[in-house]
Chains A and B, each alone.
Chain A
Amino acid sequence: MTEPLAIELRGISKAFGPVQANRDISIQVKRGSIHGIIGENGAGKSTLMSILYGFYRADSGEILIGGKPTEIPDSQAAIDAGIGMVFQHFKLVENFTVLENVVLGAEDGALLRPSLAKARRLLRQLADDYEMDVDPDAVIEDLGVGQQQRVEILKALYREADILILDEPTGVLTPAEADHLFRILNGLRDEGKTIILITHKLREIMEITDTVSVMRRGEMTATVRTADTSPEELAELMVGRKVLLRVDKKPATPGDVVLEVENLRVVDDRRVERLRGIDLTIRAGEILGVAGVSGNGQSELLEVLGGYAKGTGTIRVNGQPIDLTGRTSDARSRRARGIAHVPEDRQREGLIMDYRAWENVGFGYHDDPKFGAGFLMDNAALRRDCEGKMERFDVRPPDPNLAAKNFSGGNQQKIVLAREIERNPDLLLIGQPTRGVDIGAIEFIHQQIVALRDQGKAILLVSVELDEILALSDRIAVMFDGRIMGERLPSETDQGELGLMMAGMAGSGVAA
């Protein structure tokens, strides 16, 4: 015991009602190291970090910071103890400048000027030390996500944090931005800062961490040196069984053209053009993967195809044009045309979280006569339908009366998938199919998508996970700033090229 530990957790337990979110968790993190925490959704990572940052109090256990037992009743106490947190969803004031955001809540006195001057000096110094160049006078809403994240890190450093916790920091970044972030983190580590990185991406763990802890169902299943492990081993530790990290699929046998999109444009409520002339085609029996950093028009593409955003241009399904602005430009009419849609945000759009599972299996198809004649709904028919879907899609627990919000992310997604796939659509729109889904369910969902393709359906897959795009797609289109930068065949491209295209730096040209 020569080197002091930056953080030590001893026997942390936390329960929410009957759910044991953390059970007897102990970790030791050395000063000046990067420690990864990996686990499936709902494994208890976020709860553990919330305890460390003072949002929750542990039911039992001890937190030692720098060797001293420390009580962390609230986030101010965490900041005082030298802990800084970078959340997945940034907590910045959009219309404040970088400098104002950095100082906010940590002003030295009633007057702002001295604090701002101090912050400006510090920012300049940090920019030199760690490649963290952010214009201190830029307004947050004008900055890209990568830079906004840097502001979050600067905020923590301004508060003299020695321990930095980052929660899923790369979810919104391009590969290049992620690399930049990792260089910053490496620099901070070399300065003696301690970094805890929460992620579900095995690749990041392997790339940057020194040690890694794996969580499963509220328990810490292992802590290992990253150099001594492999992605396969970590995946197995996370899920508790062997996991296939690749998707087994046969080459596609494309048939007739199902979807044709020409010069599709969408202007949003703030009159910003979100889609600037999209052209694409999808044939039966083919998966077109749309890659891109989130916010580059993919959501709008799904929304306009799904019928709940207005647009201009031409969309044809099976050769017949679709109404983009008139009375039948709604989601109901799209469903009638054989378009099924698994939305990107299943909790906001795809499900009514307070509805029971059986109510959700009819959602969007609640006019179907098989769910009741005329004015009344046949709730019993919905329940029966739900039971069947739960069995075929292995939804757990198979209880139709459970509200959607009480299922795990993966099981919620299975309910949505079952509902959409079993309508036997010609075209399936599917956004972020495995976001917030545990590894075990990812495998199943990928198999379902490929199986639907093999039945001769056209599939439009939108995902920010490049691994997923590469694994599933028969063709890949990369979106940047409302345009398609180009199409590639998965066999003829790699993460590097796609990453450049996602950043708008290369592209053009259509794959054969």
Chain B
Amino acid sequence: MNDAMPRWADIVLIPIINLVLALLVSGIVVAMIGENPFEALVFLIKGAVGSAYGWGYTLFYTTNFIFTGLGVAVAFHARMFNIGGEGQAALGGLGVALVVLTVPWPHWLLALPAAIVGAMAFGALWAAIPAYLQARRGSHIVITTIMFNFIASALMVYLLANVLKVPGSASPESARFIEGARLPNANDLLPFLGFPRSTPLNVSFLVAILACVGVWVLIWRTRLGYEIRAFGHSEPAALYAGISPTKIVMVSMLISGGLCGLMAINAVMGEAERLVIDPVQGAGYVGIAVALMGRSHPVGVFMAALLFGVLYQGGIEVQYEIPGFTREMIVVIQALVILFTGALDNMVRAPVERVFLSRRRQPVAPEPTTPSQPGGHPEKGQAEP
């Protein structure tokens, strides 16, 4: 019985219950280390959405998570579990850096499309090898993409320490991007909203929203999306319909890797403005949670990314306000949210479905007894006899 619940319960109610449970358990943990959980929650929310400064960071993180979340979601539709967002996004950063550093860009409007191509191409490239191994050799995509995260990380260290490093500099990072490739931030674009001059929120946020629309069109409006979803639902059926599994595995992973790589235009081009050792900072893994919580739908991914953006930014602020509240606590809370929204989803789902089922059955079962009950529903028919 998959139609046990109305759609709104599936999309809104269940995630909210999951989130409340996660916050409840987080609160207990916070209380256990001797801090006031309510105080922490107030600081968290205030820090994330209480000021234009907070919003700037929250939406900046949200942008990262939208890209990686969409990437994981596209792969999910083909029933591929892409754990490699982290590495693909790092390689995306390399692509952006190469594009930006090799051409003396006169204006960001020219640099951005080129950087998008570079980010997507390198991210897709990094997904292509595991995808090929899965499609042709049957090597499990989860294992290979995890391994490729480590390879990507080692590769980035090597390149930044030996190849891309500015001669004479001690830090393992590329040269600073030129002014002509600087993406405008929220303060440049919308000065009247009061974002600080240094806000990291930049035009990439709009690209992320466009990517949401694009993924929606791809999945639900194109032939390719039709084939990807069909393959994800049933591989034997896809074969019967003449859909090539190799093609779908490859294409969906390339798109997935490309979207994860796209994250770099926000983190590398929009914020750091140089390539650093770890430009991704875990966003690839958060993307998995975002896609799970968002049920692989672009709207869901957007909402979940926003939630994780709030948690990220709010969590950092709490550290400043409450000395006993360490960085590790934030990781614990994020982990709990992932645990409840992703892994323990069915724990909440089953009882909620049961509640909906029993509520729907009631009008059927007590029919014969209704007339004899006093104070029943005041029905028209009762007045007539």
- Taking Cβ atoms with an 8 Å cutoff, the residues of A that contact B are 15-18, 20, 59, 306-308, 330-335, 341, 343, 345, 348-355, 359, 362-364, 366-367, 372, 375-377, 379, 405-406
Contact = CB atoms under 8 A, between A and B. Distances in A.
Contacts of A343: 240
13 contacts: A18-B360, A59-B365, A331-B242, A332-B242, A341-B240, A348-B237, A352-B230, A354-B233, A355-B229, A359-B226, A363-B241, A366-B223, A377-B221
A249 to B, nearest CB: 29
A366 B4 CA distance: 30
B226 A375 contact: no
A17 B357 contact: yes
Given A20-B364, A363-B230, 8 more contacts: A16-B357, A18-B364, A59-B365, A332-B242, A352-B230, A359-B226, A364-B240, A377-B222
Nearest to B233: A352
Contacts of A359: 226
A335 B349 CA distance: 42
A-B residue pairs, 4 tightest by C-beta? A332-B242, A331-B242, A364-B241, A349-B240
Interface in B150-182: none
Contacts of B137: none
A23 B217 CA distance: 46
A364 B226 CA distance: 11
A203 B363 CA distance: 41
Contact of A17 (B229, B239, B242, B361): B361
A334 B242 contact: yes
Contacts, number: 86
Interface in B304-361: 357, 360-361
A17 B360 contact: yes
Contacts of B2: 405
Contact of A306 (B234, B240, B357): B240
A366 B227 contact: yes
B1 A16 contact: yes
Contacts of A308: 239-240, 242
A352 B237 contact: yes
Contacts of B243: 332
Contacts of A17: 1, 3-4, 357, 360-361
Contacts of A377: 221-223, 226
B221 A353 contact: no
A466 to B, nearest CB: 26
A377 B3 CA distance: 26
Contacts of A349: 234, 236-237, 239-240
B239 A376 contact: no
Contacts of B242: 307-308, 330-335, 364
Contacts of B229: 352, 355
Contact of B241 (A59, A366, A376): A366
B244 interface: yes
Nearest to B230: A352
Contacts of A332: 241-243
A406 B241 contact: no
B361 A355 contact: no
B49 interface: no
B224 interface: yes
Contacts of B223: 366-367, 372, 375-377
Given A16-B1, A17-B361, A353-B234, A366 B240 contact: no
Interface in B240-256: 240-244
Nearest to B227: A366
A352 B234 contact: yes
A190 B371 CA distance: 52
A449 B103 CA distance: 67
Contact of B222 (A306, A330, A375): A375
A80 B2 CA distance: 33
Nearest to A375: B222
A343 B238 CA distance: 12
Given A331-B242, A349-B237, A352-B237, A376 B364 contact: no
A307 B242 CA distance: 8
Contacts of A353: 233-234
Contacts of A307: 242
Contacts of B224: 375
Nearest to A359: B226
A376 B221 contact: yes
B223 to A, nearest CB: 5
Contacts of A306: 240
B236 A348 contact: yes
Nearest to B4: A17
| Most B Cβ at <10 Å: residue of A16, A17, A359, A376 | A17
Nearest to A382: B226
A367 B224 CA distance: 10
Nearest to A307: B242
A377 B365 CA distance: 44
A351 B230 CA distance: 9
Contacts of B361: 15, 17-18
| Most B Cβ at <10 Å: residue of A333, A363, A372, A379 | A363
B226 A331 contact: no
